[in-house]
Amino acid sequence: MKGHDAEIQWVDGKAKIIDLVGLHARPAVKLTKLAKSYKSEVEICSGENRNWVNAKSPNAVMKLRADYNSPLFVRASGSDAAQAVKAIIDLVDRNFNE
């Protein structure tokens, strides 16, 4: 499951939730699906508490409770980490195509 290095190399990124309800079910599904399309481990976290969760788990993403206007941090580790981070940031910036 992990990358090849002993020490995990993360690629980081940051976006902002602009939907009024915050990160809710439909966007959470879109984010999870997108994350699953990459081989890398992808994690996200939100707001003040830096609790990284698996971006491929819709349950964990939902429970992040990412609010309107709150920053969303993304990190990935693996062969396609940079693409994964960029794709997820783009999705959030496009307001999940809502």
**Which positions are catalytic?**
24
Strands 53-54 and 11-16: unpaired
Taking each continuous run of H as one helix and of E as one strand, the counts in the chain are 3, 4
Considering only residues 26, 37, 79, 90, which one is a binding residue for other proteins as defined by CB under 8 A?
Answer: 26
C-alpha–C-alpha distance, residues 87 and 85, integer Å: 6
Distance of CA 47 to the CA centre of its chain: 13
Strand partners, 76: 11, 42
Of 8-16, 25-33, 73-81, 82-90, the window that binds other proteins (rule: CB under 8 A) is 25-33
Considering only residues 8, 9, 14, 21, which one is a binding residue for other proteins as defined by CB under 8 A?
Answer: 21
Does the footprint of other proteins cover residue 59 (CB under 8 A)? yes
Could you list the residues that contact other proteins (CB under 8 A)?
20-22, 24-26, 28-29, 32-33, 54, 57-60, 62-63, 65, 67-69
